[in-house]
Amino acid sequence: MTVIEESREALDLKKLALPPGLPVTRLEVEDYADADGEPALRVLAVIAESVVIEQVSGRDVVAMKSAIRESLWQRGITLFPYVFIAKQSELDEDEDEDADGG
Partner 1 sequence: MHRDLLEQAEALATLDKGKPKQANLRRAVSSTYYALFHYLVDQSCQAILGTQHSRRGYRHALARAFAHGTMKDACGSFSGTQLPAAIAKSLPKDTKGRLGIPSEVQVIASAFKELQQKRHLADYDLSERFKRSEVLALVEQVEAVIAQFDGAQASDGRQFFLACLLTWKSLAGR
**Short-list 85, 92, 88, 44, CA closest to 100:** 92
Judged by CB under 8 A, does residue 73 bind partner 1? yes
Stretch that binds partner 1, among 7-15, 23-31, 63-71 (CB under 8 A): 63-71
Give the residue with the Cβ less far from partner 1, 4 or 61: 61
**Dist. CA 37–CA 102, nearest whole Å:** 30
H or E segment to which residue 33 belongs: strand 24-33
| Among residues 23, 51, 67, 75, the one that binds partner 1 under rule CB under 8 A | 51
Q: Phi-psi region for residue 26, left (φ > 0), alpha (ψ -120 to 50) or beta?
A: beta
CB of 3 to partner 1, least distance (A): 16
Name the site residues for partner 1 (rule: CB under 8 A): 34-36, 38, 47, 51, 53-54, 56-59, 61-62, 65-66, 69, 73, 78, 80, 82-87, 90-91, 93-94
